[in-house]
Amino acid sequence: MVRSLYREVVTRHPVGIPEDVDMKTFAPYLSKALLHRIDLALACSSDWDRQYPDPNLKPPFGWLEAGLFSGDDERTSPRIFHIETTQSEKNGSFRVYVRLTWGSPPKRPWMIWRVAAIVLRENGRFVVDDVIYLKDKSRDVEWRLSGYLSAGCNGSRWVGRGNQSDDLKQQR
């Protein structure tokens, strides 16, 4: 299941929350809880738009310019993925470690990074419940997709935030 999801990520390079056809492609891979978090993030974004109607203001949501399944900045468009290992968790979920690469053969890859997809069984099938963007030499903290989606929000309401990185750390 994770292999199929990351084939779609490498093919489609989704940035931000997928819309329309892309969301129909990705939704079957996602847990009900993660889909609910995505809905709340969209509702919070709408609440921000209501509170700040000036079209010249840039919304403060990091997920707008990030690859939900791969990370932000240059990590939004991986060209290659490789499933490295799967680790069982005490709560019955699994961490599936995925190595992502940006840059295409035959040239040497420009960037390699790892994520861990949190997978659980739901309604008789495996689904992704969260993604952990792992700490590495260019990123000094781990953070989670679930934290990214909820930063600055209280459910569907935009409440603002202090330091974005502190918000994301608290969600770990």
Domain extent listing, the chain: 2-170
Residue 78 in tokens: 């991986």
pLDDT at residue 167 in the model: 44
pTM, to two decimals: 0.88
pLDDT at residue 163 in the model: 45
Give the CA distances from residue 158 to residues 21, 54, 165, 172, in Å, rounded to whole numbers and listed in that order. Answer: 27, 16, 17, 20
pLDDT at residue 106 in the model: 64
Which residues are registered as beta bridge partners of 81? 100
pLDDT at residue 37 in the model: 98
pLDDT-flagged residues of the chain (< 70):
104-109, 162-172
